[in-house]
Structure 1
Amino acid sequence: METILSFTFREAVEDVDYEGYKIPKSWKVLPMFTNIHHNPDFFPDPQKFDPSRFEVPPKPNTFMPFGAGAHSCPGSEFAKLEMLVLIHHLTTKFRWELDDSKTGTECSPFLIPQEGLPIRVSRR
């Protein structure tokens, strides 16, 4: 649901009209990935943890955890492989319990759990 970077800077290469607003050429634009990833038009109930929403690939430019286009992360495929290996070991070798009473995130400037992430981990 989140990315390491909440936003990035881009420069408009031509004048753009977007939903009644004019973005002049050479203006800096700040795409907010968090807002894109939590848009209910693309992801129903966006705050809910629902991995099944990715059983069908999302529409282009609606989920960009590694950016997009020419400026996308060059290490994205390696990072995905690392995450799969880590998740495999964390889920097959350990039991996890989450304290659901402390939920929510704050942006400072990166999204972090409001009161930490209280969990209990034990070996299987």
Structure 2
Amino acid sequence: MASIISFTFREAVVDVEYKGYLIPKGWKVMPVFRNIHHNPEFFPDPHEFDPSRFEVAPKPNTFMPFGNGIHACPGNELAKLEALIFIHHLVTRFRWEVVGSKSGIQYGPFPVPQQGLPARFWKEQSSPIQDVCP
């Protein structure tokens, strides 16, 4: 739903006309990833949380949470691995629920829940995975 990088700066390497506007070579441009990631041309219902939309890889340059190409974040694979490990332990060892407000995002400049994201966590009593993975 959101990217840690809301925008970036690039330099136009050639003159570009976009929607009737001329962007001269050398001008600084600021792609806003949030607008790309919420474009209904690429993602149906872009404001709905729907992880299944990634069961098929998105078209190139339509989802760039870590930038792209030579400008991609060098730590993107580490960040993905850390998130995967965290989520694995969260869902296999704990029960949890969001409490309070569940909607509304504020951008300043990064997207965060308007009222925070209060949650309650409790440890599962026992599970087969806990016996295998201490």
Q: Normalising by structure 1, what TM-score?
A: 0.94
What is the percent sequence identity of the aligned residues? 67
RMSD: 1.2
> What's the CA shift for 1:100?
6.2
Deviation at 1:20?
2.1
Gaps of at least 5 residues in structure 1 are: none
The higher radius of gyration belongs to 2
Please name the residue that 1:106 is paired with: 106
CA positional deviation for 1:30: 0.5
Contact 2:3 2:33 in 1 (8 A): yes
1:5-44 paired onto structure 2 within 5 Å: 5-44=5-44
User: Secondary structure of the residue that 2:70 maps to in structure 1?
Assistant: helix
1:120 corresponds to: 120
Q: Deviations over 1:4-46 (max 9, x none)?
A: 1100011101111122221101111111011111111111111
Any runs of at least 4 consecutive aligned residues in structure 1 with deviations exceeding 2 A, and if so which? 99-102
Structure 2 unmatched runs, 5+: 125-134
Matched positions, count: 124
Partner Cα distance (1:20, 1:48) in 2:
31
Seen in structure 2, the aligned counterparts of structure 1 residues 99 and 45 have a Cα distance that, compared at 3 Å, is: farther
